[in-house]
Each structure stands twice: as C-alpha cells, then as structure tokens.
Amino acid sequence: MKTNERVLDVGTGGGVPGVVLAILRRDLTVELSDTSSKRIAALRSILDEIKLSLTIHHQPAQQIAHDMNSQGHPFDTLIIRAVAPLPKLLAWFEPISSVYGRLLLIKGPRWEAEKRDSRHRGFLKKVTARRIADWPIPGKDTQSVLLEIKKRHNA
C-alpha cells in the first residue's frame, strides 16, 4: 500500500487484517466495517484494551464506500478476508467499482475456481482480478493469495 492511503477493512470480524494494518502502518487511515453488533462490541473492547482509536462502521461496506466517496473522502483500498466467495464479493462490489480505488482480497486455495466462475458469470467485465502475492498454507500442498481487483480503464 502507498503512504497515507485510506483503507476500509470489510467484514472485519475480530479486526484482522485492519487492526494489524493500523498498528504496523501508522501512515494509513484504517477504518473497520461489520454488520454484526456482537462482533463490533467485541472489537471495541479489543481496541480499548490496546488503546487504539479506529472508526468502526456498523453498516454494509458498499454503503460506506459509496457515502465516503459522495462526501469527497473515497477509500483507496477495501481489504477483504474470509467474507464470501469471489463471485459473491464481485456481485456486491463490481457495480460500485468507481467509488473506491481497488479491492485487496485474501483468498484460499479455491481462488482459481472462484475466478473462473466469476468470469463465467460476467463479473469481470468492469474490473480486472490479478494475483499480486501468494504464500503456502502450512501443512497443506496449497496456497493462499492476495488478489487485486481494479476497475478496468475502458469500463
């Protein structure tokens, strides 16, 4: 990530990766989103314990991204880990690809099949999906990847 990016951790759950990014990269403006009141309450407790002040949104990330863009404060990056399969994520975020810079998706071993399915369903018409990093899953003969989803220049 570039210096001073605005980042939204979509479906943050327990705060990974958003809280970790906020700790390691103080130059980033990291905000968190989740639709579960229970997870948000637990996350607020964690943030209080480690004395870290981050904005937590209790609404769908698509609405947050749209609202922030309308207010002149678009997110450079939406980061998503363990939220949904790629076709579902693209169904949610591809239609609003003009209101954020890019999606970074942490995906498991089924990412290639999910990408093929996404292409087949037409979700890669307005956006591109490319692997920008990968790492082995310990104890398995598979890997996880970091996918970057960006709006196509001609879309």
pLDDT tens across 56-108, in order?
Answer: 999 999 999 999 999 999 999 999 998 899 999 999 999 999 999 999 999 99
CATH number of the domain within which 47 lies: 3.40.50.150
Q: What angle do CA 104, 34, 76 make, to 5 degrees?
A: 35
Closest CA to 74 of 49, 102, 50, 52: 102
CA distance 3 to 108: 27
- Nearest-angstrom CA–CA distance, 131 and 111: 10
* pLDDT at 15 > cutoff 80: yes
Domain interval for residue 116: 6-151
**pTM metric for this prediction:** 0.93
Q: Is residue 139 part of a domain?
A: yes
Residue 48: inside a domain: yes
Residue 10 lies in a domain: yes
CB 101 within 8 A of CB 75: yes
Q: What is the pLDDT of residue 78?
A: 97
How many domains in the chain? Answer: 1
